[in-house]
Amino acid sequence: MEPTAPQPDRQATASDETTTPEVSAGLSPTVAQPASLPTIYTPASEPGRLRNDRPDRRTTRNYSSLKETPYHGAIVVDARSGKILFEERAGTYGYPASVTKLMTLLLTLEAIDRGETALNDRVRITAEAAGIGGSQLWLDTRETDLTVEDLLYGIMVHSANDAARALSIHVAGSRAAFVERMNQRARELGMNATRYVTDHGLPPGDSSQPDISTPYDIALLSLACLRHPKTLTYSGTELHYLREGATMLATRNALAKRVDGYAGCDGLKTGYHQRGGWSLAATAERNGRRIVSVVLGSPDKATRNAISRQLLDRGFEALETNR
């Protein structure tokens, strides 16, 4: 079992683009309709494509910072064939921050598939979940109406850390048990350099090693998420309302917005904390072709968004050239 991470302090811990959920009334949610997906590649051992057979290289080394200009590492992949279209330092360690929530999403969806929980199951809000800092839904232990699906929207649209903790306790019984599942699933997917210590991506409060991964590993995770038909329902949603319309969630992914977004982008997940910089696992579909790009460790949000657009463009151009 992986060592447990200390509970972050609500006031002292950095978060993924922290904001408070907006309050609205009488508005209809903007819900993404998933694009028609081509078959998503399942990695094996083919040269030139994402592989799941690389030697283990997990580390417990604790880096003070893993970010640089324009990024610490990046990769672009054809989601249908698994072909690597571009990579630069794709195997370098990075701190994914809230990109970690992709694994939280995947494990929850797989638990639903196994019949261990259901989208409409109500989730008990514990004091532990309500005490998580950073970006949050401001969960309250008195709440009894929030469902698994509500919290999936919470983690994917608003990047809510308290929602991630509530889901992990609901699915696995405890944070520690869920994180153990995260690491086991990472091993099964061939994420050979990934080590999870949280269910949400916040750095531990004692400055020990945060969740650590690589662009390559996050590309593997992204394909696994895309192979599940429900992923884009959550990652592609721009606006969603909870608590009978009182709480509005707005996507953190600028590329997935209808206005000034990236054409065809419907996911996947943003991330930020001070030591890891700004990161984004993005996907877009055009004319039946789907690209995944991963950018880890950019110095600021604008650079991360701009370089992600450029890398998606580069991926689609490469597919057209090779048509």
Specify the amino acid at residue 310.
Q
Q: In what order do the strands lie in the sheet with 247-250?
A: 22-23, 247-250, 239-242
101 is catalytic: yes
CA–CA dist 167, 122 (Å, integer):
10
Burial 223-250 (b: 16+ CB within 10 A, else e): bbbbebebbbbbbbbbbbbbeeeebbbb
Query: One of 15, 81, 135, 159 is an active-site residue; which one?
Result: 159
208 is catalytic: no
The DSSP annotation for 238-275 comes to SEEEETTTTEEEE-S-GGGSSSS--TTEEEEEEEEETT
Element (H, E) at 12: none
Query: One of 98, 135, 213, 298 is an active-site residue; which one?
Result: 98
308 is catalytic: no
Active site residues: 98, 101, 159
